[in-house]
Amino acid sequence: MMYTRIVQDNVITELRKKTKNELGTYFKNADYPKAGDIVGPTYGVTLAGISLLKYYCIRSIITHPRYIPWKGKVFNSGFEGMDRIELGRLKGRLANFETTEADCLTGNGRVLKIDYQLTRNPWFLRIFRDDLKKVNDSIFIGRAYVRFFGRFRFALYFLLICEQTY
């Protein structure tokens, strides 16, 4: 168990330092996960993205777990779940999603699409979509998109780490 944690920490540290373009290549070469590959809670880590998230020194402050309320996702089954949110002492779940196999929005093969366009979500949550690929059995890399003027646009990369192994 300790060895697994050390390997995961090394992978996470390596990926946090990569630029948006380097993560793009990494994402393109990652494996396609099946819906049942992730069940239960995951720990989320934000990586490089657009705007200020391009710069590691700024990104390490802005996306520090203390300052960002998103903490990961919980997959109730292989096909649905919710995002985990934490604001100070308040902990909860927000943003229902469903997963399906789909083509990546950037043409990088098949992905596990995390779809927030559900009627039970408020309108401001329905504008998001995530594409997920598998790094290894317990770490997944994702691309987050925001719908803007009718099109999904890339926002940032993120990691999901299965909590039962972390």
Task: Give the pLDDT confidence of 40-87 residue by residue, as tens digits.
Answer: 899 888 887 665 555 555 555 555 556 677 789 999 876 899 998 887
Predicted confidence at residue 78, as pLDDT, reads 66
Predicted confidence at residue 2, as pLDDT, reads 46
Q: Does the pTM exceed 0.95?
A: no
- Cβ proximity of 118 and 130 under 8 Å: no
d(CA 53, CA 156): 8
**DSSP label of 33:** P
Domain coordinates of the chain in residue numbers?
2-165
Query: What is the third-level CATH fold of 2-165?
Result: Lipocalin (2.40.128)
Task: Give the pLDDT confidence of 116-132 residue by residue, as tens digits.
Answer: 999 999 888 899 999 99
Structure tokens at 20: 């948006």
Predicted confidence at residue 137, as pLDDT, reads 86
Predicted confidence at residue 79, as pLDDT, reads 84
